[in-house]
Structure 1
Amino acid sequence: MHWLRLFKIIYVTLRFGLDEFIFGHTRLRLLRRPVQLLLFWRNTSRPRGERLRLALESLGPIFVKFGQMLSTRRDLIPLDLADELAKLQDRVPAFDYAEVDTILTQAYGKPVLEVFESFDTVPVASASVAQVHFAQLPGGIPVAVKILRPGINTIIEKDIRLLDGAAWLLQTLSSDGKRLKPREVVAEFARHIHSELDLMLEAANCSLLGRNFADKRLLIVPEVYWDWCHEQVMVMERMTSTPVSQVAYLREIGVDIPKLARDGVEIFFTQVFRDGFFHADMHPGNVQVADDGRYVALDFGIMGTLNDEDKQYLARNFLAFFRRDYREVARAHIESGWAPKDTPIDQFETAIRAVCEPIFDKPLKEISFGKVLLRLFQTSRRFGVEIQPQLTMLQKTLLNVEGLGRDLDSNLDLWTTAYPYLERWMSEQIGWRSALHNLKAELPYWSKILPQMPRLIHQQLERGLQLPPASAELQRVIHEHQRQTRWLRLISLTLLLLVLLQGSALLLWWFSQH
């Protein structure tokens, strides 16, 4: 079956004329004309981007998903291909209810109608990995039931291996292969797609995002019904909401659209910089709006994570961009190791300024982020900046947010909306708020260590005064000196302990008052 899948991929590649991407390389260019003569029967009159999109659609949902992700990597592919891949729609025919019934019966060990009070046999949504049915739990609680596609694990494993082989070929033939890290991009894609194959993991993602936005002020996350969840089944609260793309209807029911756009920006930056955990599949089907104007998040299979180092780097760059401090942007790239240490900072600063300065003081409708990203990636290539695969999902999400914001309010000033939030977050990370937060976090450990401090310091001093064997007279002098100074050290340590305890008490009192 693996070889049959490989042959199908080769056939689709040749049918849509994608061999031009391979034979366009200088090492293989001589083979291009003979291949074209042998494959005279095919039609390659359409633009190459359109042919690539159609090929991925014919290869199936996993290749479609990879194409969607690849459309955000404008450093890897030309702009015409990225624009065409962005049109990919992950719409997959539903699988039969008979298979749904089989999966649910195996998961619960009993018939479906003994588990649910009612179950709608017609799915309300169908995607590449799973589909969703409405149902009611005992007591009439309305829920949405997500069921994994049968056999999807095997299909994904085979396709990931084939994608990795293609990435290896690209890395081998491309002069930019090492810098662009295509195999690491595939590995990042594989990690995220694998997380979609265990619906218990998705339920955990949903639960964590819900806790992060527990106040539900801006974002509503459905409740997970854990007793009915399984690796192949996720049961969650049924949400009544409208896709964010239906702007006319949202206006009709009284939703404040400009506020909705601003809230979307705040939600994005809150997820990224406060939590380091963000929804990474924010297409209109997964982002909806309640009648009261709050966002509703759906589908938690693909979530992005950032460590503290990534968050600090990104916040530093965002703030520097907003302040138009391009030298700080250049310095951040070099100090983080993303750009070579010998990069001429003056030239790097000038190149970044040339890209970014024209977009300030303009609303979204006057900014082409595709062109800005393309020029940034071209600048990155020129200065040898290495692409960070762990940020692939963040790039994709940022483009999603920009697209949603443009659809909702083309006059939205992204910089003005985001800057105050980022500035406060940065002060919390490196300013006095950060120092107080870290001090408060460490106090429980201090309370354990402080009583042991005199003994530990005394033992360390004793070890530090140990000397190699010496004469008896020298040993006597050392012993006498130690005896005379021991009390002085103990008194000093006691005073130090009292000062520390007094300081801790004052800090605890201050925190209790604030």
Structure 2
Amino acid sequence: MRLFRLLKIISVGLRFGLDQMIRDHAANTRIGEWVHRLVPARQFAEPRAVRLRLALESLGPLFVKFGQMLSTRRDLLALDIADELAKLQDQVPPFPSAQVFEVLRGEYGKPVHEVFRQFEAEPVASASVAQVHFAVLPDGTEVAVKVLRPGIESVIEHDVALLDTAALLIEKLWADGKRLKPREVVQEFARHLEDELDMMREAANCSQLRRNFHDSALLLVPEVYWDFCTRKALVMQRMVGTPVSQIDTLRGQGVDMKALSRAGVEIFFTQVFRDGYFHADMHPGNILVTNTGQYVALDFGIMGTLTDRDKAYLAQNFLAFFQRDYKRVAQAHIDAGWVPAHVRVDEFETSIRAVCEPIFDRPLKDISFGKTLLRLFQTARRFEMEVQPQLVMLQKTLLNIEGLGRQLDPDLDLWQTAKPFLEKWMSDQIGWRALVRHIKDEAPNWAGTLPQLPRLLHRLLNIDTQEREAARHAELLELQRRRNRWITVLTLGVLGLVAIELMTRFS
């Protein structure tokens, strides 16, 4: 099976002229020489990026998903390829209802009609890993049931193995192979797939995000019904809304598009900086809007996380960008260890200014974040900055936010919308509010420690006394050793004088 799959990949690659891309970019390498000898040069009407996207679509849903993930790695790709791969849509024909019933029977140990009061055989959505059906629980609750595609695990295992082999060849045979780190990219992709293949993990992601936005006026997250969730089936609250991409319908419902666009920015920054836990797949297909203008999040297979340190440095960088304090941006990168300490701050500052200064005071419709990101990555490589793995998903989400903002309100000023939120967040982190919060957080620990303070202090004093006695004893031993050395020297000196005197008398 693996050999057949490999032959198909080679065939599709030749059909869409991917060999020409190798010929152009690896001419002086062994792999380029092989291509030059085995495959004649050809001309193609479509640009290289379009041909690559079409090839991935022909190879199937897993390669489409790989292309989607690869489009986020703008540190590795040319801008035209990254932009084209971002257009990949994971639209997959549904698998038969009979297989759905078979999977659910295997998970629940009984037929579907004994688990649900009603189950719609026709899916409402289908993707490469799973598809969704509407159903009704025995108590009358309307739910959405996400069912894992049968046999997808073995397909993914084979395709990931082929991708890893291809990455190894690129790394060994291409001059830029090691710099591009293709095997690390494949491993990153495999980790994301592993998360998406476990519906219990996705259910936990959904539950966490719902808890973070409990009673929020901005974002609705479906409730998870844990009694019906398994590794291959996720059952959650059925959500009602209009896809965010249907702008005319939303306007017809009286939704304020400018307020909706600002709310989207606030939701993003709340997830990133308040929670350090964010929905990392926020394309329009995963977002609904209620008729009251409230967002609804769907599909929780890919979530991003940030540490407190990541959040602090990101906030400092964002605020410094807003204030055009590029020296502070450069210094923050060096302090975080993202840029080597030997890099000159003034040179790094100048390069950042050249990238960022042109985008200020312009509406969102006039700003290309793709080009800005590309120039930032080029600057990063010049100053030996490695892209942080924990920020890759954040970069992808920022691009999703850009696309969403362009749809809802092309005149949205992203900077001015985000700045007040970030300033308040920084105040909460380093101001008096932070002090009060830290005291509250530590109060339970103090309550347990205070009764022990007398005993701990007594032990500390005893330890201190013992240390002083030990030090005094060591000092006395040292004095005694010195005295013994002087006595030995004097004795030897006296004996030497006596010996000289005796030799003089008897000579």
Normalised TM-score (structure 1): 0.87
In the other structure, the counterpart of 1:102 is: 102
State the match for 1:387 in structure 2.
387
* TM superposition shift of 1:470: 8.2
Aligned equivalents of 2:125, 2:472: Cα separation in 1: 85
- Say whether residues 1:330 and 2:330 are aligned partners: yes
Q: Could you tell me whether the CA contact under 8 Å between 2:29 and 2:174 is conserved in 1? A: no
Cα deviation, 1:103-140, whole Å, max 9, x if unaligned, reads: 11111111111111111111111001000111111133
Kindly provide the CA deviation profile for residues 157-196 of structure 1, in whole angstroms up to 9, marking residues without a partner as x.
2222222333334444555555554333332222222111
Comparing 259-268 with 59-68, greater Cα deviation is found at: 59-68
Give the corresponding residue for 1:277: 277
Structure 1 match to 2:140: 140
Q: Whole-Å Cα distance in 2 between the matches of residues 270 and 335 of structure 1?
A: 25
The answer to whether the 8 Å contact 1:100/1:147 transfers is yes
* Aligned AA (2:37): P
Alpha-carbon distance, 1:458 to partner: 2.0
8 A Cα contact 2:265 2:417, kept in partner: yes
In the alignment of these two chains, the number of paired residues is 470
Q: In structure 1, which of residues 34, 37, 41 is the aligned counterpart of residue 37 of structure 2?
A: 34
- SS of residue paired to 1:222: coil
Q: Secondary structure of 1:133's match?
A: strand
What corresponds to 1:484 in structure 2? none
Whole-angstrom distance in 2 between the partners of 1:119 and 1:469 = 80
Q: Is 1:406 aligned with 2:406?
A: yes
SS in 2 for 1:285: helix
Q: In structure 1, the residue corresponding to 2:100 is in which secondary structure? A: helix
Call closer, same or farther: CA 1:238–1:27 in 2, change over 3 Å: same
The correspondence of residues 307-346 of structure 1 with structure 2, limited to 5 A, is 307-346=307-346
Q: SS state of the match for residue 135, structure 1?
A: strand
Bigger CA drift: 226-235 or 244-253? Answer: 226-235
Q: Structure 1: state its 5+ residue gaps.
A: 475-514
C-alpha distance in structure 1 between counterparts of 2:228 and 2:141, whole Å: 13
Partner residue in 2 for 1:151: 151
In structure 2, do the counterparts of structure 1 residues 93 and 449 end up closer, same or farther at CA, with 3 Å as the change threshold?
Answer: same
In structure 2, stretches of 5+ residues that fail to align are 477-507
Q: How does 1:53-452 map to 2 (within 5 A)?
A: 53-173=53-173, 177=177, 180-452=180-452
Counterpart of 2:465 in structure 1 is 465
Distance (Å, rounded) in 2 between the aligned partners of 1:80 and 1:242: 32
Say if 1:108 and 1:303 are closer, same or farther in 2 by CA, change over 3 A: same
Secondary structure of 1:465's counterpart equals helix
Deviation track 1:470-513 (CA, whole Å, cap 9, x = no partner) reads 89xx9xxxxxxxxxxxxxxxxxxxxxxxxxxxxxxxxxxxxxxx
Q: 1:470 to 1:275 in 2, by over 3 A?
A: closer
AA aligned to 2:285 is G
Choose 397-406 or 104-113, whichever is displaced more: 104-113
CA distance in structure 1 between the aligned counterparts of 2:121 and 2:400, rounded to whole angstroms: 32
Contact 1:179 1:384 in 2 (8 A): no
Deviation at 1:223, TM superposition (A): 1.1
Instruction: Name the CA shift for 1:140/1:465 in 2 (closer, same or farther; >3 Å).
Output: closer
Structure 2 CA distance for aligned equivalents of residues 131 and 184 of structure 1: 29
Q: CA deviation at 1:62?
A: 1.4
2: CA distance between counterparts of 1:258 and 1:461? 66
CA deviation vs aligned residue, 1:45-72 (integer Å, no higher than 9, x gap)? 4211111111111111111111112112
> Identity percentage over the alignment?
64
Letter in 2 for 1:256: D
SS in 1 for 2:394: helix
Residue 4 of structure 2 is aligned to residue 4 of structure 1: yes
Q: Which whole-Å CA distance do the structure 2 matches of 1:318 and 1:168 have between them?
A: 37
SS, match of residue 153 in structure 2: helix
Corresponding letter in the other structure for 1:130? A
CA distance in 1 between partners of 2:121 and 2:37 (Å) = 53
SS of match in other structure, 2:235 = strand
- Cα distance in structure 1, aligned partners of 2:402 and 2:159: 31
Given that 1:265 and 1:401 are in contact with CA atoms closer than 8 Å, whether structure 2 keeps it comes out as yes
Cα distance between partner residues in 1 of 2:310 and 2:175:
28
Q: CA deviation at 1:77?
A: 0.9
Output the CA distance in 2 between the equivalents of 1:261 and 1:138.
Answer: 39
Measured at CA, do residues 166 and 340 of structure 1 come closer, stay the same or move farther in structure 2, by a change above 3 Å?
Answer: farther
Q: Identify if the C-alpha distance between structure 1 residues 27 and 342 changes in structure 2 by more than 3 Å, giving closer, same or farther.
A: same
For 1:486, the equivalent position in structure 2 comes to none
The residue identity in structure 1 corresponding to 2:163 is L
Instruction: State the partner residue of 1:483.
Output: none
Which whole-Å CA distance do the structure 2 matches of 1:295 and 1:192 have between them?
25
**TM-score (ref. length: structure 2):** 0.89
Counterpart secondary structure, 1:423? helix
Shift of 1:461: 2.3
| Cα distance change, pair 175–320 in 1 and its aligned pair in 2 (3 A) | farther
Provide the secondary structure at the position in 1 that maps to 2:39. helix
Letter in 1 for 2:168: W
SS in 2 for 1:146: strand
Cα distance in 2 for partners of 1:272, 1:404 equals 17
- Residue identity matched to 1:34: R
Q: Is the 8 A contact 1:198 1:231 kept in 2?
A: yes
Identify which range, 184-193 or 336-345, moves more after superposition: 184-193
Identify the residue that residue 505 of structure 1 maps to in structure 2.
none
Structure 1 CA distance for aligned equivalents of residues 422 and 281 of structure 2: 23
Q: Distance in 1 between matches of 2:472 and 2:16?
A: 88
Runs (4+) of structure 1 moved beyond 6 Å?
none
Distance in 2 of aligned mates of 1:43 and 1:144: 48
Q: Mean alpha-carbon deviation: is it higher for 318-327 or for 452-461?
A: 452-461
| Alignment CA distance shift 1:346-1:179 (3 Å) | farther
SS in 2 for 1:34: helix
Q: Which has the larger radius of gyration?
A: 2
Assess if the C-alpha contact under 8 Å between 2:21 and 2:48 holds in 1.
Answer: no
Q: Distance in 1 between matches of 2:392 and 2:171?
A: 18
Bigger CA drift: 168-177 or 315-324? 168-177
Cα distance change, pair 122–453 in 1 and its aligned pair in 2 (3 A): same
Residue 235 of structure 1: CA displacement? 1.0
